[in-house]
Amino acid sequence: MTLRFLGTTSEEGDCPTVYEIEGTDEILVQGERETDPAHLVQLRDVKPSETFVRVPRSLLTRYAPRHEAPELQPFTANSHLFREFRHTAWRLETRRGYATDRSSPNWSRSRDGETFGFNPDSRGMPTSAPRPKPGNGSSAYAS
């Protein structure tokens, strides 16, 4: 049976590595052989033909996750989504203007070619407009 390389966490071609055994639901793990006697005595039901390797958990979670990846759907199964749409972000972002812009007091001034200072801290008002008094929460304007 053919092995298919799934991935490695090694940057220099050293182990650990995970392979898939094609045609089966099994994987092959390459890593450092476990030799710690304290760990080996805790293993259960060990057959003489088995060996144990140590690999980082991230290797398995990245390249051999518990859940299967969703099956890819052919484009024809989803192509209706591209035929039946009503709006796209592209269309919205290429409009010449927005209603909120046109309700701004600066809209007509800008449309008419008037130049005026704009201060982003002015809450949308031109710099020549009266500004709210800071502090007391009053809606009165400074002169």
Q: pTM to 2 decimals?
A: 0.43
Q: Which residues pair with 141 in a beta bridge?
A: 132
pLDDT in tens, 102-132: 777 777 887 888 877 766 565 555 555 454 5
Work out the widest C-alpha separation in the chain, in whole angstroms.
Answer: 93
pLDDT in tens, 69-105: 778 889 999 888 888 777 666 555 666 666 777 777 7
Question: 12 — phi, psi (to 5°)?
Answer: -115, 20
pLDDT given at position 35: 92
Sign of the dihedral defined by the CA atoms of residues 62, 64, 67, 68, in that order = positive
Question: 141 — phi, psi (to 5°)?
Answer: -105, 150
Three-state DSSP class for residue 99: helix
Would you say residue 134 has pLDDT above 90?
no
